[in-house]
Structure 1
Amino acid sequence: MTDDNLHRRRFLKATGSAAAAVAVAGCTGGDSSGNESGGSTNESETTGTGGSNESTSGEGTQDVEVDGDTLSLVNSTMTTLDPVASTDTASGTVITQVFDALMNYPNGETSVENLLASEYQNSEDFQTYTFTLKDATFHNGDSVTAQDFVYSFKRLAASPNSKRSYFILDSLGVKHETEEDSEGNEVLKPDSLGVTAEDEKTLTVELSQPFHSALEMLAYSSFAAVPQGAVGETPADEVGSDGQPTTTYNEFATSNPVGAGPYTFDTWEQGTEAEVSAYSDYHDGEPANAGVHWQIIEDTSARYNFAMNKNADIFGIPSSKYDPNKVSIENTDDKGRKFGTYGSLRNGDTANYMSTPLINTFYIGFNMQAVPKEVRQAFAYVMNQQTMVQQVFKGRGKPAYHLTPPPVFPNENYDQHAEENYPYGYNESQIDQARQVMEEAGYGPDNMYEVQWTQYDSTVWEEMAKILRDQLQAAHIKMSIEKAPFSTLVKRGTNGNLEAYTLGWIADWPAADNFMQLINPPQTDTSTSDAISYINWSSDNGSAANTAKEAFTKVQNNLAPTDSAKQTRNEAYLTMEEANWEDVGFLNVYHQTGERFWYDSVEYPPFGGMDYSRQKYDDVKVDRSD
């Protein structure tokens, strides 16, 4: 890959964390409240339509009857059941239960293991992977074959309905050729994709160059197996002559998804509910429960009421209802996951509790073309990340001094590197330094710099914004706060029309380069269609831009899963982090902690850093006999 081969990223509204931050990533989005549907387990302060969590709406608080050993959860609005078309985590959570891929993040942990693959081998140059498939069947009774994966991967790369083609063509970098279509667009050349069925149970995947996270990418649900011909013989057959999805495709994507996962699809009623049932012939053994039922509820208070009425077995608690003093930690494992209890709840019960560091970062971004460097640095001097996490986000996260989250930080020395090198005050606010840098630039009480802060509709992010606004006054900066619908924020960002804004990134794959691409200067240029952040970083507005660009090129030239390549990447990652400190394109705020609460009616395996949205529920035991 080169700087000219820019990864496309579709910007998605994530569940907001305790901060109701908007997160950007290929693996999350499309909902508002986190519980059972998005990149956050803490739940946001707003709904997907901008409603406040203080709403008194009773929607979704009705009792729901489910079978005694059916897992009862809450979800947000879903959009599709097609693995290659899903961009929102609400849909992805259900898709994960119905479809299986070659590899899997067990319980959302960061280390992958075989799923539909029984074993694999890689070539010496790490550019060819050969998978042997398990004996497994789709829900229609057909055996899963290598040809099904060829069909599924071609859909991912070329289907008009695919929203994740860049995953296979760019991020993973499967070998392929392109050609121009009748309108002059560069498209995938038919039958050029480097995926081959050697025989019924042997699949070969060829990469254009080594990629250290190849197996992790193949665990993503977009790479799941779909029966050959399920939606048409070729990807082009999925749409009609009018350019619209065919009836066959719509049935697959909304009412008849056929996968090889632990659950078969039962029903999905838009805005109301979805349900799946245990698949008795599942290759990994029959699930431990009868199925999963999701009640679809958008309003955060209604979700909380639903859980307090014991209609949800596993749930989140919104920040407005959350009391950190009710958490009692009993033990911590070697992965940093904490276990204990939370209570008492509003209903008098005590819930089981766990938390884990997630691989994400929430930040303030600056359009560097519009906001001078000294203003960006003043923001950094004023910001006390630790205070914000404790006071605003109620301790449900870790202060962020790097864009790379702690679980995947180079050489695992996140805290040491930040404490020894962060130039704007580690765990402190330095208002005097902020004032000094602004006065040196010619600003003062009678000549204040005016800047526009734009955020998604969130009470907690607004609370943080007001704290910053008041502090920045003393540094000769007048900040106005604007709330905008997510779609408006994204459109303005894409067009380069933001000044300071709040967003976040949740991992597509658990490695630093997934985050560092956001501060690779060529990929921040909003004048191009492939910008994945809105900061417009260049040598015209940042002295460290060329340093960051050269470091990312070094990353891209050393992607092999070898110790020497990893060390080179790690050095380049630190260079990029420090370059961002120098020019302040992103002012990192916090890394969200994932939390879950559950009643004694379930035995719930703990999830890992890739979040519970990657977790299959076939090992969850349900017993409501008491």
Structure 2
Amino acid sequence: MSNSGTPVRPSPAKKRAALTAGISISALLLTGCVQSQREENTGTEGEGAVDTTFVFAASADPKSLDPAFASDGESFRVSRQIFEGLVGVEPGTADPAPLLAESWETAEDGLSTTFALKEGVTFHDGTDFNAEAVCFNFDRWYNWTGVQQAETVSYYYGSLFRGFADSPEEAVYESCEANGDSEVTINLAKPFAGFVPALSLPAFAMQSPTALEEFSADEIGGSEESPTLSEYALGNPVGTGPFKFDSWEVGQQLELSIYEDYWGDKGQITNTIFRIIDDPQARRQALEAGTIDGYDLVAPADTASLADAGYNIVPRDPFTILYLGMNHAVPELADPLVRQAIAHAIDKQALVDQTLPEGTEVATQFIPDVVDGFNEEVTTYDFDPERAKELLAEAGYPDGFEVQFNYPTNVSRPYMPTPEQVFTNLTAQLGEVGITVTPAPAAWSPDYLNQVQGTPDHGLHLLGWTGDYNDTDNFIGVFFGQEKLEFGFNNPELFAALTEARGMTDREEQTAAYEEINEQIAEFNPAIPLAHPAPSLAFAPRVTSYPASPVNDEVFTDIELSE
């Protein structure tokens, strides 16, 4: 998307120096600057004072400060500090828990849920959080039109709620009723068993109606392939969370400070700085230089040496999937024999051993084994280069063929800490069976996701997913529940099966249905599940506790610091 290189709003009076990724001298020069910031933000004075500025290295800029128009982890990491939803996540799990809603009750037919709202909560601009604000947000999403509906813009709402006000026959959402200030009822047009846990997504966080209107949050320009963000999404986000937005210098850093009227526990941290460092080695150097307190997506080769040096390594339980996408709009990839050949050409265990973190599991399907519907007997395509060559010959490509291979640069993802290494590994494996790739690298933000998800101009490609909550639809429903430019296929039978399963309220019936669907997906082989990586974070010794979450639901008020 069109994040420019200039600040969106003026920085605070004391501008912070930026860390240039990959240049270790820059990291050292910043030490004094960061130290001065921290001296201004200590919780007490004298010996034993706790430094209350927390500096975290992000692997990329957020794509959007409006979480409703975001789908990437770096946007959501920031959003979780600024915003809150009706539903949160039980710490350390993927299960839903009360947040701005203290409780809820769903009707037997699954078509309405009534939420009892927390009272005395305000948005950062002083606007009251109440039932009317909830309805404002739900109706906002439902009434998007044009480019606002594009997959590159409102990815989650489109994937989970399926339709908008101009297509009510497809829509899951129907209406919202404010029952006084502290109770609200959401009515659905169709059953959606994952409705409540889905609300834990930052994309469905509550945002200030006042700010959304004042800063024209829905004025999305550009095209589906290259959308441009609103004034709100570029520098005026307003939520109810523990931290409020201060400034964003694109490509350098983003700053937040504690919201003094926050309704909950504010913890130790008063100021948070997200420093943008896209290179894993540069993030490690910054940690070692003392210019950051921690970072995510530690390169697999660095975990042991950092731990030996006294840094705190915090692993996450794997709740991810890395896959090799195949765009069926490409004639060769539309052939099921070719897709089977590609699957047989890949040695997943070698890929895991050589490029992914310790603890990563080889994937047989698009959900981890802890998610309902995991099929122990699913069809697999074992590593067999000779079988791959036979299938290519049967498909009419005895000498192989050439195909574009898209992969991201300047980013690390939880499911893929080092994309270039994964690309190189897979390229070599495909070459062994005669498939030659044309490399098509692109910077993650803003180019890669827009190209792969918003245009037909791609071939093989690397993407993945960190589960947002423990629901099967959040994985395979999001991937394969409807036509997508990413995959370029139309499979009405699969779409119908997934639509039916997501509406089932009987857990056993739904689990059995998803087991069958996972077999259906395996036989169709629209893309290749590669691995369930187990990402790690690294922290300075002063970070004594970090709330690692399998779904990245990590709020910095829960961090514990020793100095």
User: Which TM-score band applies after superposition, normalised by the shorter structure?
Assistant: 0.7 to 0.9
2:384 matches 1:430? yes
2:215 matches 1:266? no
Measured after TM superposition, the shift of residue 398 of structure 1 is 1.5
Give the equivalent residue in structure 2 for 1:298.
278
2:199 matches 1:218? yes
In the aligned structure 1, how far is the partner of 2:302 from the partner of 2:312?
13
Give the equivalent residue in structure 1 for 2:377.
417
| 1:379/1:518 CA distance change after superposition, 3 Å | farther
| 1:455/1:58 CA distance change after superposition, 3 Å | farther
In the alignment, is the contact (CA less than 8 A) between 2:316 and 2:549 conserved in 1? no
Give the equivalent residue in structure 1 for 2:131.
146
| 1:209/1:297 CA distance change after superposition, 3 Å | same
Aligned pairs (5 A) from 1:60-459 = 60=27, 62-63=30-31, 64-65=34-35, 66=38, 67=41, 68-75=51-58, 76-107=60-91, 109-135=93-119, 136-158=121-143, 165=154, 167-168=156-157, 171-172=160-161, 177-178=165-166, 194-232=175-213, 239=219, 250=231, 252-316=232-296, 318-319=298-299, 322-323=301-302, 326=305, 342-344=306-308, 348-367=309-328, 369-371=331-333, 372-395=335-358, 397-410=360-373, 416-417=376-377, 421-422=379-380, 424-425=381-382, 429-439=383-393, 447-456=398-407, 457=409, 458-459=419-420
2:545 matches 1:617? no
In the aligned structure 2, how far is the partner of 1:623 from the partner of 1:148?
39
Measured after TM superposition, the shift of residue 448 of structure 1 is 0.8
> CA offsets per residue over residues 206-245 of structure 1, 9 Å max, x none?
0111211111221222322233333338x989659999xx
Measured after TM superposition, the shift of residue 592 of structure 1 is 2.0
Give the equivalent residue in structure 1 for 2:549.
608
| 1:85/1:353 CA distance change after superposition, 3 Å | closer
Give the equivalent residue in structure 1 for 2:13.
none
Residue identity in the other structure for 1:95: S
In the aligned structure 2, how far is the partner of 1:165 from the partner of 1:379?
32
Residue identity in the other structure for 2:289: N
| 1:287/1:56 CA distance change after superposition, 3 Å | closer
Secondary structure of 1:593 counterpart: coil
In the aligned structure 2, how far is the partner of 1:389 from the partner of 1:238?
42
In the alignment, is the contact (CA less than 8 A) between 2:346 and 2:430 conserved in 1? no
In the alignment, is the contact (CA less than 8 A) between 2:91 and 2:547 conserved in 1? yes
In the alignment, is the contact (CA less than 8 A) between 1:359 and 1:506 conserved in 2? yes
Secondary structure of 1:503 counterpart: strand
| 1:597/1:85 CA distance change after superposition, 3 Å | same
> CA offsets per residue over residues 323-348 of structure 1, 9 Å max, x none?
4655xxxxxxxxxxxxxxx522xxx4
> CA offsets per residue over residues 377-435 of structure 1, 9 Å max, x none?
2222232211210123254521111122333251x5x5x435xx42x32xxx3233334
Give the equivalent residue in structure 2 for 1:480.
437
Measured after TM superposition, the shift of residue 570 of structure 1 is 3.1
| 1:408/1:151 CA distance change after superposition, 3 Å | same
TM-score, normalised relative to structure 2: 0.78
Aligned pairs (5 A) from 1:538-577 = 549-560=492-503, 562-563=505-506, 566-577=507-518
Match of 1:515 among 475, 478, 498: 475
Measured after TM superposition, the shift of residue 128 of structure 1 is 0.8
Secondary structure of 1:555 counterpart: helix
In the aligned structure 1, how far is the partner of 2:101 from the partner of 2:452?
43
| 1:381/1:125 CA distance change after superposition, 3 Å | same
Give the equivalent residue in structure 2 for 1:37.
none
Give the equivalent residue in structure 1 for 2:11.
none
Secondary structure of 2:502 counterpart: coil
In the alignment, is the contact (CA less than 8 A) between 2:176 and 2:184 conserved in 1? yes
Structure 1 segments unaligned to the other structure (5+ residues):
1-11, 13-28, 31-50, 181-185, 244-248, 327-341, 525-530, 539-548
Residue identity in the other structure for 2:132: Q
Secondary structure of 2:105 counterpart: strand
Measured after TM superposition, the shift of residue 562 of structure 1 is 2.6
| 1:196/1:107 CA distance change after superposition, 3 Å | same
TM-score, normalised relative to structure 1: 0.70
In the aligned structure 2, how far is the partner of 1:236 from the partner of 1:353?
40
CA RMSD of aligned residues (A): 3.8
Measured after TM superposition, the shift of residue 497 of structure 1 is 5.0
Measured after TM superposition, the shift of residue 352 of structure 1 is 3.4
In the aligned structure 1, how far is the partner of 2:453 from the partner of 2:67?
28
Secondary structure of 1:287 counterpart: coil
Measured after TM superposition, the shift of residue 122 of structure 1 is 1.4
In the alignment, is the contact (CA less than 8 A) between 2:241 and 2:262 conserved in 1? yes
Measured after TM superposition, the shift of residue 171 of structure 1 is 1.6
Measured after TM superposition, the shift of residue 113 of structure 1 is 0.7
Residue identity in the other structure for 1:93: R
In the aligned structure 1, how far is the partner of 2:221 from the partner of 2:272?
38
> CA offsets per residue over residues 111-130 of structure 1, 9 Å max, x none?
11111111211112111111
In the alignment, is the contact (CA less than 8 A) between 2:315 and 2:536 conserved in 1? yes
User: For this pair of structures, how many residues does the alignment match?
Assistant: 504
In the aligned structure 2, how far is the partner of 1:500 from the partner of 1:268?
34
Residue identity in the other structure for 1:484: P
Measured after TM superposition, the shift of residue 93 of structure 1 is 1.8
In the aligned structure 2, how far is the partner of 1:170 from the partner of 1:433?
36
In the alignment, is the contact (CA less than 8 A) between 1:118 and 1:133 conserved in 2? yes
Residue identity in the other structure for 2:551: M
In the aligned structure 1, how far is the partner of 2:548 from the partner of 2:222?
44
> CA offsets per residue over residues 62-97 of structure 1, 9 Å max, x none?
222323122221123234433333344333222211
In the aligned structure 1, how far is the partner of 2:237 from the partner of 2:459?
43
Residue identity in the other structure for 1:465: L
| 1:388/1:167 CA distance change after superposition, 3 Å | closer
- Which stretch shows the higher mean deviation, 127-136 or 192-201? 192-201
> CA offsets per residue over residues 108-150 of structure 1, 9 Å max, x none?
7311111111121111211111111112222334432111112
Residue identity in the other structure for 2:347: N
Residue identity in the other structure for 1:286: K
In the aligned structure 1, how far is the partner of 2:551 from the partner of 2:451?
28
In the alignment, is the contact (CA less than 8 A) between 1:314 and 1:597 conserved in 2? yes
In the aligned structure 2, how far is the partner of 1:619 from the partner of 1:454?
41
In the aligned structure 2, how far is the partner of 1:324 from the partner of 1:313?
16
In the aligned structure 1, how far is the partner of 2:520 from the partner of 2:554?
36
Residue identity in the other structure for 2:515: L
Match of 2:486 among 527, 530, 533: 533
> CA offsets per residue over residues 526-559 of structure 1, 9 Å max, x none?
xxxxx25324366xxxxxxxxxx43542332243
